[in-house]
Amino acid sequence: MELGIKTSWFKMNKKILITGGAGFIGSHVVRLFVNKYKDYQIVNLDALTYAGNLENLKDINQAKNYIFEKGDITDAGFLETLFKKYDFVGVIHLAAESHVDRSISDPMAFVMTNVIGTVNLLNVAKKAWNGNYEGKRFYHVSTDEVYGELFDPKEFFTETTKYDPHSPYSASKASSDHFVRAYHDTYGMPTVISNCSNNYGPNHFPEKLIPLMINNIKNNLPLPVYGKGENVRDWLYVIDHARAIDDIYHGAENGETYNIGGNNEWKNIDLVYLLCKIMDEKLGRAAGTSAGLITFVKDRAGHDLRYAIDASKLMKKLGWEPSVTFEQGLEATVEWYLSNWDWIANITSGEYQKYYEEMYG
């Protein structure tokens, strides 16, 4: 699909910094860019927090056009050295603290990485590019949670929906979005932002709803559903998010925002029942066995009722559309977890954090 994609100016320039590439979505973005654009040099910068796992990238670790750099985006001096070393023409910024429940218990970690870290990156890119923005791009990856919550089932978040974040996570992402826009409007920086709905797929950290439920079902543990399970999320397969990021990185105009979503809304409780059904079949359990593990627990504080994205701008202007149905994506996801059980076992045992310690310190 060539619609709206202007690769020519960009292809002449090669070094791209992807932050947060050892995380869930970042690892899929790194893999897509490394495999698809052999003439780009992809530098993956990640602090390897609890959410970063280089096992996610073991298939491309040796690729010629891929380099990993361990570092923290809250460290401006480190970022400056990195920009001097590589002379980046592009940044795709995914590094973040990303879990709402953690933001409720430790908001400051979200301010540090999501706000201060993003402003550090903007400052360092601005200094390195020094007003020469030809062929440069600063792409900030954000969330639909900045828009708040929806009550009217006929309403959707569009690119012009007013920001109304409720959780410390969404407030920190909203703040970082505002800084990115401010650097475009004030300094003319070539920025782009996308706001995506909930992702699911391989390598999703098992603190988030779908992998947590898969893990707990497999291990016969309680399935904690917050409140009455009435909250609605719009689920998108992670590889389709990565494809959208590729299209937007190459096709957007400077200063633009794109919403990304799957047009695929599920009430939490219905989704948990569906996962129970799929897992019963896969594990050879009698129908209804796993659903017996469902446990309604205290609701999340400030729990947003419904997120739903209108992705028509992305579809019309850049020709993006999801490559899989939810049934296909969920099937592939459950299969991936069942065939990569050591990945989740390494996480629950903490083993994954030792994995590359010797190599990267």
299 catalytic per annotation: no
Site for ligand TYD in 83-142 (CB under 6 A): 100
Three-state SS across 167-198? CHHHHHHHHHHHHHHHHHHHHCCCEEEEEECE
The residue ranges of DSSP E strands in the chain, in sequence order, are 15-19, 41-46, 66-70, 90-93, 137-143, 191-196, 198-200, 223-226, 232-237, 257-260, 265-267, 294-297
- Give the whole-angstrom CA distance, residue 83 versus residue 93: 14
**Tokens matching residue 288:** 């209804």
Choosing from 31, 136, 137, 173, the residue that interacts with ligand NAD (CB under 6 A) is: 173
Closest distance to ligand NAD from the beta carbon of 94 (Å): 4
Name the residue whose CB lies closest to ligand NAD: 23
Tell me which stretch binds ligand NAD (CB under 6 A): 47-55, 294-302, 306-314, 349-357. Answer: 47-55
Partner from ligand NAD, ligand TYD, none contacting 22, C-beta within 5 to 8 A by type? ligand NAD
268 binds ligand NAD (CB under 6 A): no
Choosing from 49, 176, 195, 198, the residue that interacts with ligand TYD (CB under 6 A) is: 198
**Tokens matching residue 266:** 């599920």
226 binds ligand TYD (CB under 6 A): yes
Q: Fill in the DSSP letter of residue 229.
A: S
**Tokens matching residue 143:** 């969330």
- Give the whole-angstrom CA distance, residue 286 versus residue 277: 9
208 binds ligand TYD (CB under 6 A): yes
144 catalytic per annotation: yes
72 binds ligand NAD (CB under 6 A): yes
* Residue from 46, 145, 159, 247 carrying the catalytic annotation: 145
- Give the whole-angstrom CA distance, residue 360 versus residue 355: 10
212 binds ligand TYD (CB under 6 A): yes
Partner from ligand TYD, ligand NAD, none contacting 117, C-beta within 5 to 8 A by type? ligand NAD
Which conformational region is residue 200 in: left (phi greater than 0), alpha (psi within -120 to 50 degrees), or beta? beta
Neighbours of 242 (CB within 10 A): 21
**Tokens matching residue 138:** 């600063």
Neighbours of 271 (CB within 10 A): 22
Nearer to ligand TYD, 194 or 198 (CB): 198
199 binds ligand NAD (CB under 6 A): yes
Nearer to ligand TYD, 45 or 214 (CB): 214
Site for ligand TYD in 251-270 (CB under 6 A): 268
Nearer to ligand TYD, 176 or 268 (CB): 268
* Residue from 55, 72, 97, 144 carrying the catalytic annotation: 144
Partner from ligand NAD, ligand TYD, none contacting 203, C-beta within 5 to 8 A by type? none
Pairing of strands 265-267, 232-237: antiparallel
* Residue from 86, 169, 200, 249 carrying the catalytic annotation: 169
Site string for ligand NAD, 7-46 (x = CB under 6 A): ------------xx-xxxxx-------------------x
Neighbours of 340 (CB within 10 A): 14
- Give the whole-angstrom CA distance, residue 166 versus residue 169: 8
Q: Cα-flanking dihedrals φ and ψ of residue 212, to 5°?
A: -65, -40
Q: Quick one: which H or E segment has residue 81?
A: helix 76-86
Choosing from 136, 233, 241, 250, the residue that interacts with ligand TYD (CB under 6 A) is: 233
**Tokens matching residue 151:** 């009550």
Nearer to ligand TYD, 3 or 301 (CB): 301
| Chain residues that interact with ligand TYD, rule: CB under 6 A | 100, 198, 208-209, 212, 224-226, 231, 233, 268, 300
| Chain residues that interact with ligand NAD, rule: CB under 6 A | 19-20, 22-26, 46-49, 51-52, 72-74, 94-98, 113, 117, 141, 143, 173, 196, 198-199, 205
Hey, which residues are catalytic here? 144-145, 169
